[in-house]
């Protein structure tokens, strides 16, 4: 007995509930160890704390150096210094000594303002005097202010294993050695002591304070195993500048590296965090986390396999069947081994295909009959004005005693009627259809020869043999003569071209006659068939037949021609060898 729809509904619901419970059990288990996720937050907090510590340290150090710069600047503008330099030659000896002592006292005051300052020196090249807070004053030593000291004014530099801050009037260096130089020598041991104090945290592996402009560095290493690696990483200026977190991690995966730089003072601080110390207390929780995470992945995998077999595969099967139906394949009969919901769907699908085939056959036959009736109607509606004009043209040629032209014209007219009244077959090669359209154009030239020029292009060899419905080009040419070139007095042009683009045959009929915007809009609306039309015109019939024969991508498109008139583009989809034509059109 086949289960009812309600029973099937309950069956799939029960399976989904069971599968959902199995899949969510790991989630509830992971919820019990959510606190282990705090390890990630802990790591980030430690890294952020270390970064803040490094930035604060180097910022405070930079502020200290900036204060030193201010003291140097004040020293260069001291009134005693100005008086000593500018009036040295005219000053009494006791006054010179007095001014020098004043200046040395100020240098000592600067030195005592910070434990980081070892000595403050003043070099006065115009009077050959050197004053030091530690050594007193005396004659200016030879090469006391070499060029190497002047490369980076007001910033920390390394010169002969000394850390110096050299200040001088920036405009004076242009003329050679500055007349006035204020030099502060920093106490390296004090910098090292302060750096060690900053590196006292448990998770700090090492901290390196260095100069961006040289290889000079002060190192406070807490973990001895880092020392050889660090010495190797700071062997040159280039190594110091190019040291990055990724490059260091390749060498020492137990460390996290970060750098803080103060470009104003030319110093940097490298901070190395020792991972085992950082996460010693949380490593077991991290291991448990990965264990449960792996278990969850495995269980979710089993759940997905179950869903795939129970739901996904049957759904894919029926979706593929629908796609094959969309492609036009109605000879399907899908099966399902289990007597469940999908079995019911498959059975209904097969029944639907049978009914659909019956309906399509009925609609197809009705469409064929309608298309053929419209074509026969158009074939029977031969434009009487065209016939009258052709007969008058024959009479005129006979009266003008142009018997050969009259005979040729009559033959062309006979071929025209022979082609449009033939009922044996509704499809012809494109080459024959184009020949008929060309024949029609030649008939029209008897009236328009002095006012219209014809540019009838050649058909590409690939397109000559494709099979097309009869009478698809001549209505477009006739429309160009009647609505575009009828009132042209001279200089008229009709162009017919044939091209092949990416599996499409493109036939273009365009002219330089009259083409109003209103007429163009009406024609576009007619081809779009947004509303039911009372009368089927030749252009609409061609458009419908093309769409019906070759698919929705085929048909007519209208636009304004570059020549100034109307441009009608006929698009025929084909497979590269032979365009598809329904069997009914081949009879």
Task: Give the H or E element holding residue 250.
Answer: helix 245-251
Q: Find residue 567's DSSP bridge partners.
A: 510, 559
Terminal Cα-to-Cα distance of the chain (whole angstroms): 51
Cβ neighbours of residue 131 under 8 Å, at least 6 residues apart? Answer: 100, 103, 104, 107, 121, 122, 124, 137
Per-residue pLDDT at 575: 66
How is the beta sheet containing 452-456 ordered, strand by strand?
452-456, 492-501, 504-511, 566-573, 555-560
DSSP state letters, 491-540: -EEEEEEEEEETTEEEEEEEESS---HHHHHHHHHHHHT-S--SS--HHH
Per-residue pLDDT at 151: 82
Q: Would you call 95 exposed, middle or buried from its count of C-beta atoms within 10 A (0-12, 13-18, 19+)?
A: middle
Consecutive sets of 10 residues in the chain, 587 residues long: mean pLDDT of each?
Answer: 46 61 72 67 82 87 90 90 86 88 92 92 90 90 84 85 87 71 90 83 80 66 65 54 57 78 81 78 70 75 70 73 75 73 78 79 66 54 62 78 80 79 74 88 79 89 86 86 82 91 88 80 77 62 82 87 88 65 40
Per-residue pLDDT at 409: 80
Neighbours of 553 (CB within 10 A): 11
Per-residue pLDDT at 237: 45
Per-residue pLDDT at 367: 66
| CB distance 465 to 490 below 8 Å | no
């Amino acid at each position: 007995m086949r289960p009812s729809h309600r029973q099937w509904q309950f069956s799939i619901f029960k399976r989904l509930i069971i599968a959902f419970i199995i899949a969510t059990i790991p989630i509830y288990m992971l919820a019990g160890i959510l606190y282990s996720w705090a390890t990630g937050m802990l790591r980030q907090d430690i890294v952020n704390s270390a970064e803040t510590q490094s930035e604060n340290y180097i910022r405070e150090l930079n502020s200290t150096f900036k204060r030193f710069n201010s003291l140097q600047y004040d020293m260069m503008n001291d009134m005693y210094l100005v008086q000593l330099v500018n009036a040295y030659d005219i000053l009494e000896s006791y006054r010179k000594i007095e001014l020098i002592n004043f200046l040395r006292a100020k240098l000592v005051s600067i030195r005592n303002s910070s434990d980081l300052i070892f000595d403050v020196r003043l070099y006065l090249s115009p009077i050959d005097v050197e004053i030091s807070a530690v050594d007193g004053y005396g004659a200016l030593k030879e090469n006391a202010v070499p060029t190497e000291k002047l490369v980076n004014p007001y910033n920390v530099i390394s010169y002969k294993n000394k850390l110096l801050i050299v200040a001088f009037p920036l405009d004076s260096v242009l003329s050679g050695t500055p007349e006035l130089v204020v030099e502060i020598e920093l106490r390296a041991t004090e910098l090292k002591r302060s750096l060690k104090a900053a590196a006292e945290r448990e998770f700090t592996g090492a901290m390196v304070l260095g100069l961006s402009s040289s290889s000079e560095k002060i190192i406070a290493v807490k973990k001895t195993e880092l020392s050889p690696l660090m010495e190797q990483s700071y062997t040159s200026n280039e190594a110091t500048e190019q040291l990055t977190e990724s490059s260091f991690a390749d060498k020492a995966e137990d460390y996290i590296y970060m750098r803080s730089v103060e470009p104003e003072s030319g110093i940097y601080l490298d901070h190395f965090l020792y991972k085992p110390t950082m996460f010693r207390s949380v490593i077991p929780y991290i291991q448990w986390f990965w264990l449960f995470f792996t278990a969850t992945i495995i269980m979710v995998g089993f759940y997905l396999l179950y869903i795939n077999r129970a739901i996904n595969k049957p759904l894919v099967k029926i979706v593929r069947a629908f796609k094959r139906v969309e492609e036009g394949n109605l000879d399907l009969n899908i099966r399902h081994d289990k007597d469940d919901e999908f079995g019911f769907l498959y059975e209904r699908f097969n029944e639907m295909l049978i009914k659909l085939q019956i309906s399509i056959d009925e609609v197809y036959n009705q469409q064929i009959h309608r298309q053929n009736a419209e074509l026969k109607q158009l074939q029977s509606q031969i434009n009487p004005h065209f016939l009258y004009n052709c007969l008058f043209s024959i009479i005129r040629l006979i009266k003008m005693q142009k018997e050969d032209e009259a005979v040729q014209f009559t033959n062309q007219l006979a071929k025209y009627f022979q082609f449009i009244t033939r009922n044996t077959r509704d499809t012809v090669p494109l080459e024959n259809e184009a020949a008929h359209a060309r024949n029609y154009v030649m008939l029209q030239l008897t009236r328009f020869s002095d006012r219209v020029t014809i540019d009838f292009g050649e058909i590409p060899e690939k397109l000559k043999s494709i099979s097309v419905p009869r009478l698809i080009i001549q209505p477009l040419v006739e429309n160009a003569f009647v609505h575009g070139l009828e009132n042209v007095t001279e200089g008229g042009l009709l162009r017919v071209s044939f091209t092949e683009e990416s599996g499409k045959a493109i036939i273009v009929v365009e002219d330089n006659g009259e083409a109003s915007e209103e007429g163009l809009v009406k024609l576009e609306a007619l081809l779009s068939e947004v509303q039911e039309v009372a009368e089927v015109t030749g252009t609409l019939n061609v458009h419908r037949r093309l769409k019906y024969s070759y698919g929705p991508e085929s048909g007519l498109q209208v636009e304004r021609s570059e020549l100034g008139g109307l441009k009608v583009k006929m698009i025929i989809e084909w497979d590269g060898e032979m365009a598809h034509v329904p069997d009914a059109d081949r009879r």
